[in-house]
Amino acid sequence: MSVRAAPGRLLERERELAEVERLLDRVHRGAGELLVVESPAGAGKTRLIEAVAEAAGERAACVLSATASELERDLAFGVVRSLFGPVLARSTAARRRSLLSGAAGLAAAVVAPHRSGPELSAADPASVLHGLFWLTSNLAEHGPLVLAIDDAHWADRPSLRFAAYLARRLDGLGVLLAVAARPREPGGEEQLLSALIDDPRANVVRLAPLSQAAVGTLVSGRLPGAADERFCAACHAASGGNPFLVGELLSALASDGVAPVAANAERIGELGSSSVARAVLARLTRIGREAIDLAQAVAVLGGRAELRHAAALCGLEGPAAARAADALASIEVLAPTRPLTFVHPLVQNAVYDSIAPGARSLMHAAAARRLADEATAPDRVAAHLLKAERTGDPWVVQALADAAVEATARGSPDLAATYLRRALAEPPAVDRRVAVLHELGSVELLARDPVAVDHLAAALAETADADRRAALALLLGRAAVSTGRLADARLLLGAAIEELGEAHPQTTARLEAYRSAPGVWHPKFVGELDERAEGLHALAVRAGAAGRSLLLLLAFRSVFDGGPHDEVLALVEQGLDEGRLVQAESAEAIEVTWAVRTLTFIDELDRADRVVEAMVTDARRRGSVTGYVFATAWRAHIALRRGLVAAAAADARAAVELATEHGLHLLAPHAHAFLAEALIEQGAPDEARRVLTGAELGPMHGTRPESRFLHARAQARLACGERQAAIADLRACQEISESAAGFRNPNVFAWRSTLASALPEDAREDALALVELELDQARRIGQPRAIGVALRARALLSEKHDQIELLELAVATLERGPSRLEQARALVDLGAARRRAGRRADAREPLRRGLDLAAACGASVLAARAREELVAAGARPRRERLSGREALTASERRVALMAADGMSNREIAQALFVTMKTVAMHLTRSYDKLAISGRAELPAALGTVDSLDG
């Protein structure tokens, strides 16, 4: 039966039903679609969602449905569990294993039954979303899939995050995600719902009120006798054409025996002005106290309850409760089904709001106790405790703590924090308060909430237990550094370090790494770190494996000051401990990124690549989106240093998209800067500027990371012709870098030469002073790349007779380093200088080499300039190749290499944290460029081509 063939059930919804059929047709052809039904309460969105499910079921699609409840908006992935739980429960063990295979296994923490308790480990929220996407994909492999979510305005935050995450990945998935919600519901997740409604892929349906004619049809169906037009018009005016309100109005009229005649039209205004609550309560009053009590119990239990639970809550015996339920069904308050449910959320709200606040609190507390006695899931117990008044009950504190453990294990640390904040407010007993603060700070750290620092600091201040103080101090250090609260790290850890002293070198070394971390980021703390460096190194050596982080911090600090290459490298190698650090700390550990960046800044790019590949391997093994973002961002940085622009752009774009999607804002400025720099080289400065505009700097103001970001923005502004704005950014870089001694390594980034090139002609002396200082610093540290960049900058400010000699020296110097793009720049500048000096024949060789290098790097702007110079020098440069292996983008090449290695599209997509549609698109383009027919020919077509991006 078509959804169109339901006359009388869905009045005046033909257009909406036709849209449903169109979307289902597309899903059956393998498309992915998002349907959002938005309407006020009572307008019929639930019935439309039911029609979607019915029509999909008739087409043999798999339909998974869930209805959110106001009581359950504080359950961890409550809606997601309602969607996927039943299909997994019905599946055989073999099918469950299949559905949860591969990356989908990361979703098991949410959808698979597991025990609660302190032994549960925390799940990464980003990884859980990744796993749920692949669970959806695995289900869709067996045929069209419909996920229908009603009352999404009451859905829990994690479930809505998943819905938004899935919506962005529906293309080519064969899934219809249908979401129904009220607009601007108080207390709802407005921002997350807006992300769905405003998604450009969304098919948004807004239900209009019924016409007067449709209301007349309803009147004729509910009231005896012929319906007068004036009477129907009055019903329409009183209800506003809202289908549910029409029904409530007609129920009241029928109960009072009002005939649908013209003479009774005036009575409708009086009845219609009554709220739903008054109408419902009036019906309840007529059938007695027991029915009222049962209805209120069901409302407190969330609008969906087992009869025995509702009966126990309101003190009714079984037979009396059953009779009350039947009576409530007869007056259309409850549906005539089990479990007990209200006929409409508006009716539930009316009953719930009729309970006095004090009585309501007591009922929620009683419900929590009863559910706990039956070993109900801890979060369902906690949902009631959140609505109960605070009484200082130790049992409540423990129940909320248990719910927090389970929420954390399900990848919902933000909801775990909600439970623990309520536990803290109960309040807990004095001897339990420290434990609650400890647990709260821990989950806030997982949620990347800076307030974790405050709660962990409070716990540290309130406990005298030595072991707990050590554990708290370590967490506090991690929280302060990872959330950017650098000054707090210094101040809060000092007492703990002094207390532990030399008797506990392992713990002290780890704490010192956190306390000293501000010295590598903020100019204000550099001097303090330098004064203590010798003692810190001795402590790191004494601490053994626990000193790895401190060694890497010292290496990171030394590289900014241009420390001797071999000494810095030795520190990094000791800190990495032959790869044991990555295994012990994971890919997202900040210490690992210190190692990668230090190796990059001393031009040990092969070593840096090996660490990054270990990070990628670790992230893929654990399904860690966060780890993969860290790895791809720093891999982009390494690619930029090599001059592999396309590879850098591909990795940086992937890092930006994933970081933005998962709220990894502390890393985002780095990834945005890397992407912008690559885009500038590719001739897209406007896009680079937009990318940087979208970055969130957070707590990085006045730090080295901000100066790095400002340098990238200045380059974008220069490329867009905004010279004054670029100079302002570079002057801000200068202020940060020169505000303290110790930031003297131009191989980190050469802001002075960039500023010198931006200054106007009348500031030439200032420009020369900047470049001379940069050149002196570069020569002091001895890095060929830094020296070559400074020599090139100095040459461009020199007179013609000196320019060629300096550029020849720059080219020779850069050839000893790993940066092919910087070599290409110097070669093109050298060729151009020789041509301007009348040495056209001598100009061609460096210009050809510069062109070849620029093209190989993917630096299209520089390559175009090299071609222009070659033509001016009398040469005929070859055309750029537009097909074959060289034409593959970095992303296409990575996917093609993985496919050539025998990986399936699904395996590639899971490894790269993208969709199979993305993989298929890259492969299709690769086949076209390589002039082959399919993946079987990839190994031969790719040959021994180097993987530019790993």
Q: What is the block-wise mean pLDDT of the chain (950 residues), using blocks of 10 residues? A: 42 94 96 95 92 94 94 92 95 94 93 58 88 96 96 94 94 95 72 87 94 94 92 92 90 88 85 68 88 96 94 94 95 93 91 95 97 92 96 97 95 95 96 96 92 95 90 91 81 84 86 89 85 94 93 94 94 93 83 94 96 93 89 95 94 91 74 95 95 76 82 95 95 85 84 95 94 96 95 92 94 95 97 94 95 92 95 82 72 92 93 91 92 91 55
Cα–Cα distance between 84 and 595 in angstroms, integer?
41
Q: Tell me the torsion sign for CA atoms 77, 83, 86, 89.
A: negative
Cβ neighbours around 723 below 10 Å, total: 14
Cα–Cα distance between 500 and 251 in angstroms, integer?
74
> Token pair of 712, please?
């990238």
What pLDDT does 5 receive? 32
What pLDDT does 535 receive? 94
Cα–Cα distance between 653 and 632 in angstroms, integer?
9
> Token pair of 541, please?
């050596």
> Token pair of 747, please?
């191989």
Cβ neighbours around 349 below 10 Å, total: 18
What pLDDT does 909 receive? 93
DSSP category for residue 735 = H
Per-residue b or e along 865-892, where b marks 16 or more CB atoms closer than 10 Å to that residue's CB: bbbebbeebebebeeeeeeebebbbbbb
| Alpha carbons within 13 A on the beta-carbon side of 472 | 29
> Token pair of 532, please?
């203590």
What's the start-to-end Cα distance of the chain, in Å?
A: 53
Per-residue b or e along 170-199, where b marks 16 or more CB atoms closer than 10 Å to that residue's CB: bebbbbbbbbbbbeebeebbeebbebbbeb
Q: Calculate the CA dihedral of residues 519, 523, 526, 527 and round it to 10 degrees.
A: -150
Q: Distances in Å between the alpha carbon of 679 and those of 659, 805, 851, 880?
A: 18, 31, 18, 19
Cα–Cα distance between 148 and 394 in angstroms, integer?
40
Phi, psi of 664 (to 5 degrees): -90, 65
Residues in CB range of 32: below 8 A, 6 or more apart: 169, 170, 171, 172, 173, 174, 175, 176, 177
Sheet (strand 62-67) strand order: 62-67, 145-150, 175-181, 33-38, 202-206
What pLDDT does 673 receive? 94
Q: Comparing C-alpha atoms, which of 690, 722, 629, 473 is closest to residue 130?
A: 629
Cα–Cα distance between 265 and 256 in angstroms, integer?
14
357-373 and 378-385 helices, crossing angle to 10°: 160
- Preceding omega of 339 cis (within 30 degrees of 0): yes
| Alpha carbons within 13 A on the beta-carbon side of 939 | 5
Cβ neighbours around 358 below 10 Å, total: 9
With contact defined as beta carbons under 8 Å apart, do 483 and 521 qualify?
A: no
Q: 193-198 contacts: CB < 8 A, separation 24 or more?
A: 193/152, 193/153, 193/160, 195/164, 195/167, 196/34, 196/36, 196/152, 196/160, 196/163, 196/164, 196/167, 197/36, 197/38
Q: Distances in Å between the alpha carbon of 23 and those of 16, 144, 625?
A: 11, 11, 31
Q: Comparing C-alpha atoms, which of 50, 47, 27, 28 is closest to residue 39?
A: 47
Cα–Cα distance between 828 and 128 in angstroms, integer?
49
Cα–Cα distance between 754 and 731 in angstroms, integer?
11
